[in-house]
């Protein structure tokens, strides 16, 4: 981390980015670092691809995040030339950063990555800073922020607490990982509004949405004496308007039922692909299943997307889960080489 810290201390203008379909972990880190770097006298701008997720608009500074898609193509090289450094958060993969990642890769701007998804052989990349033992990029970012300044703004603490809470699903995926709990406690002591984070991320479902999700759950399938539970979500209005967080609620609800070891959803997309979201209670690691399908994630939470029909995908995923269950080692929910789930 020393080289990353030194790079941030030297930079006077910093561009902050994250992966496509930004989530609470990446966005929380962007917002926190923007506040911290500016408190140290630097100028920081944060970009995402597309609109800011509605569920995360409560985060301090959310209105300052800019949409890279709104920057005209002709203006992008000039804009990038204004920065001393770019930092991409919550992914190690250039392609996961979308068109902004492509622009950064082709620019003379030094670009670094901070991520908690281990990159296997790619860890030799000098621009990548990764620690797979961390629960989230938010946890890593908190360690970085503490080194940058002893005076952490409360807004930054709230954003980093939200990052950790989001990626651990309100600390459900930690399985006794003490470092994340210590980070959360330190962030609360620094002024993080933990109550607001919980209320907005995990306790703000509308009655209409609850009813809609309940009707979908009624279509749940189970196999192998109830150890596997899943939903196939066809492309139709009642499904397509669900947010990423609401779809995550579905698979989390299923895996938390008594007797279920692995749960998944398969969502049919308009482009002829299917989107897979996997959850495990710990005995059966699901990151290997996702990797076989071109995705990745963590032992207990993973995802993938590929070209297939829902019926073919359903059969394939069931076979892969059963194969993983046969080879399963003792329980554990650590991360594995992958993209964000």
**Tens digit of pLDDT for each residue in 59-96?**
999 999 999 999 999 999 999 999 999 999 999 889 88
Evaluate if residue 337 carries a pLDDT over 50: no
Residue range 264-319, pLDDT digits in tens: 999 998 899 999 999 999 889 998 999 999 888 778 888 899 999 999 999 999 99
Residue 335 has pLDDT above 50, yes or no: no
Provide the percentage of residues in the chain whose pLDDT is more than 70.
91
Domain with CATH 3.10.310.30 in the chain: 207-326
Q: What share of the chain is helix, strand, coil (3-state, %, to 5)?
A: 45, 20, 35
Q: Report whether pLDDT(321) > 80.
A: yes
Closest CA to 9 of 32, 47, 39: 39
Say yes or no to pLDDT of 36 above 90. Answer: yes
CATH of region 2-202? 3.90.1640.10
For 97-103, which contacts have Cβ atoms below 8 Å and span 24 or more sequence positions?
A: 97/17, 97/18, 97/19, 97/20, 98/19, 98/20, 98/49, 98/68, 99/49, 99/68, 99/69, 100/17, 100/47, 100/49, 100/68, 101/17, 103/76, 103/77
Hey, how many other C-beta atoms are within 10 angstroms of the C-beta on 185?
13
In this prediction the pTM is 0.84
Residues of the chain with CATH 3.90.1640.10: 2-202
Output the CATH code of domain 207-326. 3.10.310.30
**Greater confidence, 42 or 302?**
42
Judge whether residue 220 has pLDDT over 90. Answer: yes
Q: Residues of 13-25 as b/e, b for ≥16 C-beta within 10 angstroms?
A: ebbbbbbbebbbb
Per-residue pLDDT band at 237 (split at 50, 70, 90): low
Using 50, 70 and 90 to split pLDDT, how confident is the model at 339?
A: very low
Q: What is residue 124's DSSP assignment?
A: G
- Predicted local distance difference test score (pLDDT) of residue 239: 61
The answer to whether 19 and 340 have CB atoms below 8 angstroms apart is yes
How much of the chain exceeds pLDDT 90, in percent?
67
Lowest-pLDDT range, 48-57, 71-80, 233-242?
Answer: 233-242
Note the pLDDT of residue 89: 97
How confident is the model over 321-331, as a mean pLDDT? 82
């Amino acid at each position: 981390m020393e080289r990353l810290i030194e790079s941030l201390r030297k930079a006077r203008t910093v561009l902050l980015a994250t992966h496509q379909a930004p989530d609470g972990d990446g966005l929380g880190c962007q917002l926190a670092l923007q506040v911290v770097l500016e408190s140290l006298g630097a100028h920081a701008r944060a970009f995402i691809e597309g609109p800011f997720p509605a569920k995360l608009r409560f985060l301090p500074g959310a209105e300052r995040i800019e949409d890279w898609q709104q920057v005209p193509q002709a203006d992008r090289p000039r804009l990038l030339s204004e920065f001393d450094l770019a930092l991409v958060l919550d992914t190690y993969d250039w392609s996961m950063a979308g068109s902004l990642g492509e622009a950064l890769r082709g620019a003379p701007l030094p670009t670094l990555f901070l991520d908690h998804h281990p990159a296997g052989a790619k860890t030799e990349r000098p621009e990548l800073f990764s620690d797979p033992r961390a629960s989230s990029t938010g946890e890593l970012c908190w360690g970085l922020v503490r080194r940058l300044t002893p005076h952490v703004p409360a807004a930054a603490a709230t954003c980093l607490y939200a990052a950790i809470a989001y990626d651990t699903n309100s600390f459900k995926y930690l399985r006794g990982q003490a470092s994340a709990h210590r980070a959360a406690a330190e962030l609360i002591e620094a002024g993080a509004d933990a109550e607001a984070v919980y209320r907005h991320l995990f306790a703000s479902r509308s009655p209409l949405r609850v009813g809609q999700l309940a009707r979908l759950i009624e279509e749940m399938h189970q196999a192998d004496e109830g150890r596997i539970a899943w939903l196939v979500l066809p492309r139709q209005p009642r499904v397509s308007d669900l947010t990423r967080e609401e779809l995550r609620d579905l698979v989390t609800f299923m895996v938390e039922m008594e007797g279920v070891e692995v749960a998944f959803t398969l969502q049919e997309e308009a482009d002829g692909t299917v989107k897979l979201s996997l959850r495990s209670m710990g005995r059966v690691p699901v990151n290997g299943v996702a990797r076989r399908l071109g995705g990745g994630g963590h032992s207990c939470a993973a995802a993938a997307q590929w070209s297939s029909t829902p019926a073919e995908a359903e059969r394939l995923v069931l076979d892969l889960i059963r194969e993983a269950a046969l080879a399963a080692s003792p329980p554990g929910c650590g991360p594995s080489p992958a993209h964000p789930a």
